[in-house]
Amino acid sequence: MGNCCGPGMSPEEREKEQRSRDIQKQAERDYYKGQEEIKLLLLGAGESGKSTVFKQMKILYGAGFSADDKANFRTKIHQNVLTGIQALCTAVMDLGLTGETDDDALELMDEILNISEGQVDLSEDKDIGNKLSSLWRDPAIQAAWDRRSEFHIIESHAAYFEKMDVICAPNYEPSKDDILASRVRTTGVIQEEYMIWGSKFVIIDVGGQTSERRKWVHHFDACQAILFVAALSEYDQYLFEDNTKNRMVDALELFEKICNEKLFKETHMILFLNKRDLFEQKIQHTAISSVPFFEDYAAEGRPENDKDAGMEYFKDKFMEQNKTKAPFRKDVFAHVTCATDTNNVEHIFNACKAIILKDTLSASGFMA
């Protein structure tokens, strides 16, 4: 847009121009308010962080978590802790790590493996916190943790394992961070409505595991933007539902399908390269080029263990999946995110405001 209030204008012209701009701004504000609804669809593979972004929307734009929500999350967190430690105990056996510890610890692992999912009120047994903490510090369990890319475990749950005494205490009430770290696989579709930037938003969360993906198509129409979430940190991990499929390769293939999908020709594509915090930790000890599929990382002389070079490499890989061509060339707006960090999500979401609203504005004639 040119400078409309240029030096050659008379004071009257300048005033008229200013008035016209004010009217346009007000109309834009009214337009946002009158907007029927803006649909945002969260897509991405299982465990990429979609529901975590969805929870952040509730924190940022909704009522937050009620006492009932917290009680539910408490049960989920207990399940997460138990499942996580049980996965580590099983890995000690499967990976032949029993020699790293003593008989007492092995007996304790047996005891923990025998707790069934129904018995998950960990706060009922006052010793359980100590038992789980001592197992977490056990050398065989730590050796299994170091090899966690070889079995399924939620990496961010190390934060729970570090504070087992708090989580297993009788009056434990999960904090906001504990709730954001919890993991419940989404099945089906969940949606919530919020007023954001003066407009009604409908945010839709779906399950990302392969069996869930066929349900997505029912929500493909009439969404203004897609937030595609991909976990940067999962370059050395395999799918929960198929332990032969590398998670990053799966995410790239999925993004290729979504980005080039004809139904999304007019839909804005926002890419969240998520789990930045876990990626930054992992890249210090797991070279990207050491993972089959990503050997080309080293080919162009990129520095190993360099988080910025690593992020750029994966970002380029996602961008290469965009095969759309002019005049329908799609812009993909990529952001590196940490979905468990409320400030980060708020900041990035605000940065997406213009993109999300641009379509509706241009349809109304406010933007070229």
- Is 242 a known ligand-binding residue? no
Helices (H), the chain: 11-34, 50-61, 67-94, 103-113, 128-137, 139-146, 158-161, 164-167, 176-181, 247-259, 276-282, 296-299, 307-319, 342-351, 353-364
Shortest distance (Å) from residue 46 CB to ligand GTP = 3
Shortest distance (Å) from residue 51 CB to Mg ion = 3
Among 186, 209, 286, 364, binds Mg ion (CB under 5 A): 186
- Is 186 a known ligand-binding residue? yes
Do residues 106 and 112 touch, judged by C-beta distance below 8 A? no
Binding region for ligand GTP (CB under 6 A) out of 42-50, 98-106, 260-268, 349-357:
42-50
For the segment 14-53, give every residue that binds Mg ion (CB under 5 A). 50-51
- Is 52 a known ligand-binding residue? yes
DSSP 218-267: GG-TT-SEEEEEEEGGGGG-B-SS-TTSBHHHHHHHHHHHHHT-GGGTTS
Distances in Å between the Cα of 22 and the Cα atoms of 9, 30, 33 are 18, 12, 17
Please report, to the nearest 10 degrees, the dihedral formed by the alpha carbons of residues 292, 298, 300, 306 taken in order: 120
Beta bridge partner(s), residue 228: 43, 271
Distances in Å between the Cα of 106 and the Cα atoms of 94, 158, 199 are 13, 21, 57
Shortest distance (Å) from residue 150 CB to Mg ion = 24
Binding region for Mg ion (CB under 5 A) out of 8-16, 168-176, 185-193, 253-261:
185-193
Among 268, 275, 282, 315, binds ligand GTP (CB under 6 A): 275
- The partner in contact with residue 84, picked from Mg ion, ligand GTP, none with C-beta cut-offs of 5 to 8 angstroms by kind, is none
Q: Which residue's CB is nearer to ligand GTP, number 44 or number 129?
A: 44
DSSP classification of residue 330 = P
Q: How far apart are CA 224 and CA 209, in angstroms?
A: 23
Does residue 296 have an active-site annotation? Answer: no
Does residue 183 have an active-site annotation? Answer: yes
- Is 118 a known ligand-binding residue? no
- The partner in contact with residue 227, picked from ligand GTP, Mg ion, none with C-beta cut-offs of 5 to 8 angstroms by kind, is none
Catalytic residue among 138, 178, 205, 236: 205
* Chain contacts with ligand GTP (rule: CB under 6 A): 44, 46-52, 154, 156, 180-183, 185-186, 207-209, 229, 274-275, 277-278, 338-340
* Chain contacts with Mg ion (rule: CB under 5 A): 50-51, 186
